[in-house]
Amino acid sequence: MKPWNIEICDVTLRDGEQTPGVSFSCEEKAEIAGKLDTIGVEVIEAGFPAVSPYEKQCVKTIADMGLSSRICCLARAREPDVAAAVDCGVDMVSIFIATSDLHIRVKYKKPRDVVLNQALKMIDYAHDHGLKVRFAAEDASRTDLAFLKEVYRRGAEHGADLLSFADTVGYLIPTEMYRIMTDLVASVDRPFCAHCHNDMGCAVANTITAAEAGAFQLHTTVNGIGERAGNASLEEVLVALRMKGGVERYDLTHLTALSHLVERYSGITLPRNKPVTGELAFSHESGIHIAAILEDPLTYENFPPEMVGNERKFILGKHTGKKALEHVVASIGCELSEKQVCRVLDMVKEHSEHKCNITPDVLKKLIRKAKEEKT
C-alpha cells in the first residue's frame, strides 16, 4: 500500500483547551508539546496568543523549545492578532474567518466581499513578517460551496500555504465529507486541511475520510477533547492511519501515556471503553474470546496493545470460560485441580451476576474457599 500523503496538526493546546472548564498551565502545555513531538506529530498548534498575555507567553515558550514539530498558533483576520503571532516566533499562523452566511450575518454584519478582502490583507501581512499562513474557513461545512471555493482561490492567489476546511459544528457525515473534500482538492492547487468536530460522533470518521479524499493536514486533539463534544481524537486517527492508510512513521507506543497525561491535566475523565487508550480497550471477559486469544491474539484484537502502549487484560465475570480462568489462576501463581477450577468458575459466575467485581483479592478468596471444601 502506498502511504497516504498526510501530516498531523495537533490542536490540543488550543482547541482542546477550549473545552469548558479546561485550562493548561504553561508547564503542562510544554510537557504535552514535548510528547507530541516524540510521537512525530508534524505541527503543534500551541495556542491563541491574542487571548491573554499569559497565553502569548505560553505560545512563545513552546516556539522556543527547539522541537522538531513546527509550531503554529491561531489568529483572527486582524492585524493585532497576527502581530501577536509574529512576536511569538511561531513557524505558521492560522488566520481564520467565518464564511457561512449565518456566521457572517451574526458575527460580522458586513458583506461577504468586505470580510474576505480584510482577511486577504492579513495573509499578506503575515507573509511580509516571515510567517507561513494557513488560511482557514470557519463553519466551512455550512458555507455556500461557490463562495467557499472563491475564498480558497483568492487565499491561494495571496500565497496562503495551506487552506483549511473546518466542520465547526460537526455538521457532516463521511459521505458528505468525501464529496466536498474531493471537489475542493480538485478546485485549488494548495494543500487542504481537515478540522472536524464531533457533535454527531463523526469527527474521526470525517477526518479519515477527508484524508482519503485528498486532504493533507489532519487536525486532532488528544482524547478528542475540545469545544462541546470535542474534536477528532489523535489516538484514533493515528491508529486508523497506520491500519488503513499505510502511515507507519509515528511512534504510537507513547499514545496511552500521553492520553492519560492529558486526562490528568484537563480533568476530563476518559470513558473506560475509549478506543485505543481506554482501560477496557484490550480487556476481554468472554470465554470464547479469551480461549481464542490465548491461541492467537489477532482473533479478537484488530491491533496489539503494545503498538499503542496499552496492555491486554483478562476480566473474570459471568461470561468467563474454563481456559480463561485457568490462565488467570496460573498467572497469579496458584494451582487448582480440575474439580477446583470448575468450582471456582461457578463461584465467579455467581458473584458477577450479582454485580460483584472479581478483583484479584476476590478471586484469591474464591480459590481459598474451593480448596477448603471437601473434594
C-alpha grid cell, residue 39: 510521537
User: Which residue, among 349, 329, 352, 331, has the nearest Cα to 341 in the 3D structure?
Assistant: 329
Is pLDDT at 316 greater than 70 in this prediction? Answer: yes
C-alpha 115 chain-centroid distance? 31
- Residue 138, pLDDT score: 98
Percent pLDDT > 90 in the chain is 79
Assigned fold of 7-266: TIM Barrel (3.20.20)
Tens digit of each residue's pLDDT (9 = 90 or more) over 210-260: 999 999 999 999 999 999 999 999 999 999 999 999 999 999 999 999 999
User: Nearest 5°: phi and psi at 224?
Assistant: 70, 20
- Residue 369, pLDDT score: 76
Question: pLDDT band at 330, cuts 50/70/90?
Answer: confident
- Residue 354, pLDDT score: 66
Q: State the Cα–Cα distance between residues 121 and 75, nearest whole angstrom.
A: 13
C-alpha grid cell, residue 149: 471555493
**Cβ–Cβ contacts within 10 Å for residue 108, how many?**
14
Range with the lowest mean pLDDT among 37-41, 78-82, 137-141, 366-370? 366-370
User: Nearest 5°: phi and psi at 162?
Assistant: -140, 150
Q: State the Cα–Cα distance between residues 224 and 120, nearest whole angstrom.
A: 31
Tens digit of each residue's pLDDT (9 = 90 or more) over 58-105: 999 999 999 999 999 999 999 999 999 999 999 999 999 999 999 999
**56 Cβ neighbours under 8 A, 6+ residues apart:** 47, 49, 50, 84, 87, 88
Tens digit of each residue's pLDDT (9 = 90 or more) over 257-277: 999 999 999 999 999 999 999
Is pLDDT at 41 greater than 60 in this prediction? Answer: yes
Q: State the Cα–Cα distance between residues 235 and 250, nearest whole angstrom.
A: 11
Q: State the Cα–Cα distance between residues 144 and 140, nearest whole angstrom.
A: 8
Question: pLDDT band at 359, cuts 50/70/90?
Answer: low
The domain ranges of the chain are 7-266, 283-372
Is pLDDT at 375 greater than 60 in this prediction? Answer: no
**244 Cβ neighbours under 8 A, 6+ residues apart:** 208
Q: State the Cα–Cα distance between residues 99 and 122, nearest whole angstrom.
A: 16
Q: State the Cα–Cα distance between residues 42 and 23, nearest whole angstrom.
A: 24
> Sign of the C-alpha dihedral, residues 258, 261, 265, 271?
positive
